[in-house]
Amino acid sequence: MRGASSAKWVAMAAVVALAATACGGDDDKDDKGGSSSGGGIVSASWTDPQKPIEPANVNEVQGGKVLDMIFTGLMEYDPKTAEAKPAMAESIETKDQQNFTIKVKKGWTFSNGEKVTAKSYVDAWNYGALIDNAQLSASFFQDIEGYADVHPEAEGAKAKAKTMSGLKLKDDYTFTVKLSKKFSTWPQHLGYKAFSPLPEAFFKEHDAWLKKPIGNGPYKVDSYKKGTGMKLSVNKTYAGEDKPVNKGVELKVYTDFNTAYNDVMAGNLDVIDDVPAGQLANVDSDMQGRYINQPAGIVQTITFPLYKKDSWGTKDAIKVRHGLSMAINREQITDKIFSKTRTPAKDYTSPVLKTGGYSEDICGEYCTYNPSKAKKLIEEGGGIPGGKMVLSSNVDTGSHKLWMDAVCNSINNVLGKKDACTVNPVGTFGDFRDQITKREMNGPFRAGWQMDYPLIDNFLTPLYKTKASSNDGEYSNKDFDKLLDQANAEPDTAKAIKLYQDAEKLLVKDMPSIPLWYQNGSAAYSDRVENVALNPFSVPVYQAISVK
């Protein structure tokens, strides 16, 4: 009976194997993620946010979608015009552009019944700014006086205070904000979700809150299963105007957006808000018009390491930079490589700003393809520093290798040389960012900027002001800084925008980076839903989607 006794041992080893692999296979939770959602619920594609969903800790679009639905801040941005308008703010007043008195509307509640008061804002902002909480968007509070005490600059330094001295409660529905310096357009930042109010429950039962976030927005979270999806239903206590026309939203996590796309075609999913590149060729016939493709608040540029004083940082190099910009055939590249999902750039901002500072002719001829003049300018500037340039970017996402090759080809053709411009593909995004922050770049590199709020200031200050947080090329121009300061102190918005644009013109003159194109937001939807539109952040306006 050898066979039988061996079989016994096999069985025992199998038991060990099963015990090891199936451990923790706990029973399902009650919320079964159903596949097709009926009854007025809109289903939409999603991927897991990279951090737990807290207003000041979300800096990417997937977590941002949820914040958009469950929070309403003091201001909000019009989904069509991107204009900032009051939402929960009764009034925001200032006399000196530095001290603001904010009155909060009464009658708003969080979805757990708690009242939204001035304290909900002050506590939330102090939480977001405090270094101990290590929030990704802490720097959004840096204009408020006392930020340096709660969030010291130096590594390893401890916070000197728990709250910012610039925030003061006046009564239940009024608080004052003192900024560290004049900033007239500051109230328009308040539509950014990092400035959302937070209920007491957030501070008292933090873990429970993270599992099921509670906000004051048009929707409330019914269930959230990490890695699988989130179900939201209409928040009945929502006091805002843009009440949802559907009964709820179901966000479904997809491993691959091609699958989500196929699900839309098969009628299994209603909205996909990022059409995969591989489907662009056939999206028109597949969706029969149910496809949106419009510029987003994202601009891609090539930034120069101006900290390399003897090569790219010289005076002559300005002409070379201008020449290189004119040597790039933007139209052809956006057409051929991106199937028109990028729009050639004409300035340093984005078309989503519309009346807020976008201009089609700020960059002018310097952003227009002109091979003969390009060659002339580069030669006048003494040619490419060192005779050769290497263009760097991470290549793990977004067809960066393809367009970099195209840009280099374009430049090489103009110069009539084979290897004047070559490409340096960096394996991962993390590595690429490491090299940039350590200032290790010897040649130009890709820089993408996604706006935080639809204001021209957001496209200029963080990127080009001397020593600004994301000024990776270390551009510095005193006149530029001065114009920005003037614009910030200017109470009249139209005049302020004009001053920002004047500053932008200096950028064109110095060209610390070459604007390439605006990235487009895309979405496709099933024939079950109507009124799908993208807001300035390229996120679908979920409230407005109606189910047939």
Partner 1 sequence: MGRYVIRRLLQMIPVFLGTTFIIFAMVYALGDPVAQMFGDRTPDPATVARMRHDLNLDKPLVTQYVLYMGNIFTGDFGEAFNGQKVTELMGEAFPTTLQLTLVAISLEIVLGIGLGLLSGLRRGKILDNVVLIGTLVVISIPVFVIGYLAQYFLAVKWNWVEPSVSADPTIDEMILPAFVLAGLSLAYVTRLTRTSIVENMRADYLRTAVAKGLPRRRVIGVHLLRNSLIPVVTFIGTDVGALMGGAIVTEGIFNIHGVGYQLLQGVVRRNSPTVVGFVTVLVLVFLLANLIVDLLYAVLDPRIRYA
Query: Can you tell me which of 103, 151, 330, 400 binds partner 1, judged by CB under 8 A?
Result: 151
How many Cβ atoms sit within 10 Å of the Cβ of residue 339? 15
Q: Which helix (H) or strand (E) holds 260?
A: helix 257-265
Residue choice 154, 360, 494, 548 for contact with partner 1 (CB under 8 A): 154
* Residue 12 sits in the site that holds partner 1 (CB under 8 A): yes
Candidates 227, 289, 387, 416: give the one binding partner 1 (CB under 8 A).
227
User: Could you say whether residue 28 binds partner 1 (CB under 8 A)?
Assistant: yes
Return the structure tokens found at 367: 């952003």
* Structure tokens, 22: 């199936």
**Binding mask of the shown chain, residues 246 to 275, with x at each position contacting partner 1 by CB under 8 A:** ------xxxxx-xxx-xx-xx-x-------
Q: How many helices, marked H, and strands, marked E, lie in the chain?
A: 16, 19
The distance of closest approach from Cβ of residue 6 to partner 1 in the complex, given in angstroms and rounded to an integer, is 4
Should residue 309 be labelled a site residue for partner 1 when binding is judged by CB under 8 A?
no
Among 282, 437, 466, 531, binds partner 1 (CB under 8 A): 437
User: Which of 50, 29, 57, 31 shows the shortest CA–CA distance to 202?
Assistant: 57
Residues 446-485 within binding reach of partner 1 (CB under 8 A) = 447-450, 462, 469-472
**Shortest separation between residue 205's beta carbon and partner 1, angstroms:** 15
Query: Using an 8 Å Cβ cutoff, are 118 and 173 in contact?
Result: yes
Q: Smallest distance from the beta carbon of 350 to partner 1, in angstroms?
A: 14
Q: Which of 14, 208, 281, 533 binds partner 1 (CB under 8 A)?
A: 14
| Ranges within 196-215 binding partner 1 (CB under 8 A) | 210
Q: Taking the mean position of all CA atoms in its chain, how far away is CA 16?
A: 48
Taking the CB of residue 178, how many other CB atoms lie within 10 A of it?
16
> Which tokens go with 470?
């994301």
Q: Does 2 bind partner 1 (CB under 8 A)?
A: yes
Our CB check for partner 1 shows the closer of 208 and 533 to be 208
The helix (run of H) or strand (run of E) holding residue 301 is strand 291-303
Residue with smaller CB distance to partner 1, 136 or 390 = 136
* Selected binder of partner 1 within 90, 93, 96, 132 (CB under 8 A): 132
Phi, psi of 486 (to 5 degrees): -60, -45
**CA 62, CA 429: separation in Å to the nearest integer?**
18
Task: Check binding of 430 to partner 1 (CB under 8 A).
Answer: yes
For partner 1, the closer of residues 206 and 482 by Cβ is 206
Q: How far is the CB of 542 from partner 1 (least distance, A)?
A: 20
Token pair for residue 369?
A: 């393809």
Would you state the structure tokens that stand for residue 472, as one six-digit string? 């990776």
Alpha carbon separation from 548 to 47, 232, 292 (Å, rounded)? 26, 19, 19
Of 157 and 533, nearer to partner 1 (C-beta) is 157
CA angle 477, 481, 483 (to 5 degrees): 120
Min dist. Cβ of residue 269 to partner 1 (A): 8
> Which helix (H) or strand (E) segment is 519 a member of?
strand 513-525
- For partner 1, which stretch binds (CB under 8 A), given 225-233, 328-336, 480-488, 501-509? 225-233
Q: How many CA atoms lie within 13 A of 219 on its CB side?
A: 29
CA distance 374 to 48: 45
Going by C-alpha positions, the residue among 421, 327, 312 that lies closest to residue 370 is 327
Kindly state whether residue 24 participates in binding partner 1, applying the rule CB under 8 A. yes
Q: Specify the stretch interacting with partner 1 by CB under 8 A; choose among 43-51, 83-91, 402-410, 494-502.
A: 43-51
What residues numbered 56-95 form the site for partner 1, per CB under 8 A? 59-60
Among 436, 508, 524, 529, binds partner 1 (CB under 8 A): 436
Q: Helix, strand or coil for residue 530? A: strand
| Residue 3 binds to partner 1 (criterion: CB under 8 A) | yes
Decide: is 162 part of the binding site for partner 1 (CB under 8 A): no
User: Can residue 48 be called a binding residue for partner 1 (CB under 8 A)?
Assistant: yes
Q: For residue 30, state whether it binds partner 1 (rule: CB under 8 A).
A: no
Does residue 1 belong to the site contacting partner 1 (CB under 8 A)?
no
d(CA 400, CA 398): 5
